[in-house]
Chains A and B, each alone.
Chain A
Amino acid sequence: MKIKMKYFGMIAESLGKEEETLDLDIKMVSDLSDYFLSEFSRLEEMNFQISVNLNIVPAQFELSENDEVALLPAFAGG
């Protein structure tokens, strides 16, 4: 299914882009985090949360076609 991805902070920096559309054979949010962690293992140390259509969702949330998904890391600085 096609999902619109948006990345913030060090995740955008690490992936070298702030947004893109992905076409993946997945169903749940947990599948999506598995995809990112296996493709880009460096994201593991960033401990991001995932939002779907601007709501933080749990891992067992089911994705739908054209969902807007964001990966949100925590920022330390101040």
Chain B
Amino acid sequence: MLSTKEKYRYSRHILLDKVGESGQGKLKSARVLVIGAGGLSCPALQYLVAAGVGHIGIIDFDTVDESNLQRQILFVPDDIGKNKATIASQKLSKQNPYVQFDVYPEKLTNKNAIDLFEKYDLILDGTDNFSTRYLINDASILTARPFVYGGIYKFEGQVSVFNFENGASYRCLFPRPPAKSPNCSEIGVLGILPGIIGTMQANEIIKIILGIGDVLSGKILNYNALTADSTRIAIKKSDKQIQNILDMRDDFKDYNYDYFCETNHDNKKVEKIKEISSEELKQILKTRSIQVLDVRQEWEMPKIIELNAINIPLGEIPNRLSELDKDKQTLVCCQSGIRSRECIKLLEKQGYSNLINLKGGISSW
């Protein structure tokens, strides 16, 4: 499987008992998707490529800016203004011609995430914002791919492996995003810090592929570059958090992650949403009528005739508010009850009250 030239190139790996030729073969057969080609990903990519990971996907919509060069070490001044994923793959192909690259100069969204994740074995999270991080977590649960997390703040970094062999997920640790956590471009970062954290992420990827050592799953490592202290904290898996994501499989593509990160940090507000089951709704409909809003796409089935629902897909709600009678009590439904919750939060922001969510959605009818 490895050519003579490859065996020589990787000879310092092959000499190790825990790697050997078979381990190097595993690296060659592995497929890793790196999300973002910024501070964490640049060093991670360089080591994954040097190590001979056979197939690497890089997704980043962003272009190189001069202020990136302080830490994003794959880029030089001539690259300014060019797409990061494209430039990174050009540099890395020269570094190791035995590695194959897929370049995605686009944004990771819930529309493309599932198809993309399914093409790879492992995901490396090199993003710089919470909405993409929750999206990565959820897509990695839905596709059963582990993802290696890295996050940084000024002089401190965090590393963990989530969704590894049915282990804890990012939501088990942080069920909700913070109201405010600025990224590096807003508050600054010590340039070497993403180098350290990104390299640790690459190390976890290599360990998982080789099946050696203790994977940093079920724990999070916090590293402080100023004191050189590292602290490992154990995380408890929450089956409920993971089941919630598995339950929203059908709704995943309609989930608004930006909106979730803007609004969901206040837990009390979420709990206040009134919900009824389809059985309770059937009872209510026997005695009186109720305004029903169905936020599914028009093609989604089944349609329940007796609900006499107004059908406005979630994405069109802001522009079609006039179709709703604001003074009437309104039941909001979708396929499984997730999008309708999103819709209720959105409507409450617009001053609507007296809203009820259909728990379990039309699927439970």
Interface residues of A, Cβ cutoff 8 Å to B:
6, 8-10, 13, 18, 44-47, 49, 51, 54-56, 70, 72-78
Task: Answer yes or no: B7 CB below 8 A from chain A CBs.
Answer: no
Q: Mark B176-202, 1 if CB is under 8 A from A, else 0.
A: 111111111000010000100000000
Whether B127 pairs with A78 at a CB distance below 8 angstroms is yes
A47-B179, A56-B173 known; A75 vs B233 contact (CB < 8 Å): no
> Is B151 in contact with A76, judged by CB distance below 8 angstroms?
yes
Q: B157 to A76, Cβ gap below 8 A?
A: no
Partner among A49, A70, A74 whose Cβ is within 8 Å of the Cβ of B181: A74
- How far apart are the CA atoms of A63 and B176 in the complex, in Å? 24
Determine if B180 and A46 form an interchain contact, defined as CB atoms under 8 angstroms apart.
yes
Of A13, A46, A55, A75, the residue contacting B158 (CB under 8 A) is A75
Are B232 and A78 in touch, CB under 8 angstroms?
no
Given contacts A54-B231, A76-B129, A76-B182, contact A47 B153 (CB under 8 A): no
0/1 interface trace, chain B 220-257, chain A, CB 8 Å (1 if under): 10101001000111111000000000000000000000
- Asked whether A77 lies within 8 Å of B233 as measured between CB atoms, the reply is no
Task: Point out the residue from B156, B232, B235 that lies within 8 Å of A75, measured CB to CB.
Answer: B156
Interface of A is mostly: mixed
Most chain B Cβ neighbours within 10 Å, of A44, A54, A74: A74
Q: Which of B34-42, B75-83, B208-216, B333-341 contacts A (4 or more CB under 8 A)?
A: B34-42
Could you say which residues of chain B place their CB within 8 Å of the CB of A45?
178-180, 265
- Residue contact B38 to A75, C-beta cutoff 8 Å: no
* Docked pose: A56 CA to B218 CA in angstroms: 10
| In the complex, number of A-B residue pairs with CB atoms less than 8 Å apart | 101
Report if B26 contacts A (CB, 8 A).
no
* B126 A54 Cβ-Cβ under 8 A: no
Q: Which residues of B contact A8 (CB under 8 A)?
A: 156, 222, 224, 231
Knowing A75-B153, A77-B189 touch, does A54 contact B234 (C-beta < 8 A)?
Answer: yes
The smallest C-beta distance from B345 to any residue of chain A, in angstroms, reads: 17
Q: Indicate whether B128 reaches chain A with its CB closer than 8 angstroms.
A: yes
Q: Would you mind naming 18 contact pairs between A and B with Cβ atoms under 8 Å apart?
A: A8-B224, A8-B231, A9-B153, A9-B156, A45-B178, A46-B179, A46-B181, A47-B177, A47-B178, A51-B233, A55-B234, A56-B235, A73-B153, A74-B130, A76-B181, A76-B182, A77-B189, A77-B194
Within 8 A of A (CB), among B116-174: 125-130, 133, 150-154, 156-158, 173-174
Question: Could you say which of A46, A56, A77 contacts B234, with CB atoms under 8 Å apart?
Answer: A56
Report the Cα distance A51→B126, complex, angstroms. 25
* With known contacts A47-B176, A78-B127, A78-B128, A72–B181 Cβ distance under 8 A: no
A10 B233 Cβ-Cβ under 8 A: no
CA distance A21 to B252 in the complex (A): 45
* Contact call A55/B236, Cβ cutoff below 8 A: yes
- CB of A13 within 8 A of CB of B181, answer no
A46 to B182, CA, bound (A): 10
Q: Hey, which chain A residues are within 8 Å of B181, CB to CB?
A: 10, 46, 73-76
User: In the complex, A75 Cα to B179 Cα: how many Å?
Assistant: 12
Nearest-Cβ distance from residue B189 to partner chain A, whole angstroms: 6
**Bound Cα distance from A11 to B129, whole angstroms:** 18
Q: B174 contacts A74, CB within 8 Å?
A: yes
Nearest CB of chain A from residue B147's CB, rounded to whole Å: 13
Interchain CA distance A70-B179 in the complex, whole Å: 20
Q: Cβ of B184: which chain A residues have Cβ within 8 Å of it?
A: 77-78
Q: Which residues of B contact A49 (CB under 8 A)?
A: 173-174
Judging by beta carbons under 8 Å apart, are B153 and A10 in contact? yes
Establish whether residues A74 and B39, one from each chain, have CB atoms under 8 Å apart when the complex forms. Answer: no
Which residues in A have their C-beta under 8 angstroms from that of B180?
45-46
Which residues of chain A are within 8 angstroms of B235 by Cβ–Cβ distance? 56
Once bound together, how far apart are the Cα atoms of A78 and B127, in whole Å?
A: 5
- In the complex, chain A residues whose CB is within 8 Å of the CB of B233: 51, 54-56, 70, 72
Contacts of A44 in B (CB 8 A): 179
